[in-house]
Amino acid sequence: MRPDTTASPARDEDIDLLLLLEKTLLFLQRYFRIFLIAGILGLITGFAAFKLLPRNYKSTLILHSFMLTNPEEIAISDNWNTLLKKKEYAALSKLLNCPDSILKKTWNIDASEVQKVFTPVNPNGFSIEVTVTDNRILPQLQDAIIHGYENSLYVKDRLDKKKERLRNLIQFTEQEIGKLDTAKQQLESILRGQSRSGQAVILDGSSIYKQGIELREKLANQQEELAFTAAVQVIQPFEAFEQPAGPRKFIWIGAGLVGFLGLACCYAFVDSIRSKWRTRNAAASK
């Protein structure tokens, strides 16, 4: 009978695994204090970093534009964010018409479409998410963002022309209403006189009243349109939240723990290799 050799590789593997486990336990036992000290230092450092880092808050502003497309509005916002990242506070302050102190407390301005629709004109609006270190500046920052959109050269010219057109239409409509009121007064005076000529214009009188109602409704619509004529309309303003978005305690504590344990592992491996190297050199010299 031939000897059964199929079980020997498994036994060899078991022996190798046991040796590896034994060496690992001895390694951890030898450097236990190093790992313990590193873990404690990592926890303390991570918690200290969490306490020392400034709190930041996030809030979202939802806007709708009637002057520019969403990609154009987002491109303008991206340009502001680039200036903010480069700390070009003077240039950005001029564009947004706000003090530098507001911008220095702003970390990020990120714009995106409310609905991801790949069309040249998206009527669904766009959102701007900001990260600030003080949520009390959000009202001023919102006014600055709206000012920035409304006072670009192209948008400002379009706004001025549209407002001028609406004012002219309102003035013309008011004049027409005045003429109709005069005609209505004349008609009423004729009717009070009980003249035969008054009976001849009764049919015209009904059209005068109808035209007066239509013109007044038209005037109200024009005045409403003028009042809401802007580069962007605010759908949802910034909200100031009490709970900060960051830094996150457990992430920083975990980062500190992992960092110091990693340094401890590097030190332990280097020290272990040096120790074995010295032992081999000592044995070879004998």
pLDDT value of residue 22 = 80
CA torsion through residues 244, 247, 248, 250, sign: negative
What is the average pLDDT across 200-226? 75
- Is a pLDDT exceeding 70 seen at residue 11? no
pLDDT value of residue 205 = 58
Cα–Cα nearest to 237, from 150, 155, 151, 145: 145
**Is 197 in contact with 190 (CB distance < 8 Å)?**
yes
Whole-angstrom CA distances from 165 to 67, 97, 159, 217, 233 are 15, 27, 10, 18, 20
Residues 94 and 100: their CA atoms lie apart, in Å, by 9
Q: How many residues does the chain have?
A: 286
**Is 125 in contact with 111 (CB distance < 8 Å)?**
no
- Is a pLDDT exceeding 90 seen at residue 272? no
What is the average pLDDT across 198-207? 53
pLDDT value of residue 193 = 65
pLDDT value of residue 203 = 42
Average pLDDT of the chain, as a whole number: 82
pLDDT value of residue 43 = 93
Q: What is the CATH number of domain 57-152?
A: 3.30.70
For residue 229, give the 3-state DSSP assignment: coil
Higher pLDDT, 42 or 284: 42
pLDDT value of residue 1 = 43
- Is a pLDDT exceeding 80 seen at residue 229? no
What is the average pLDDT across 239-257? 89
Could you report the per-residue pLDDT of 83-132, keeping only the tens digit for each? 999 999 999 999 999 999 999 999 999 999 887 655 555 566 899 999 99
Q: Where are the domains of the chain?
A: 57-152, 157-230
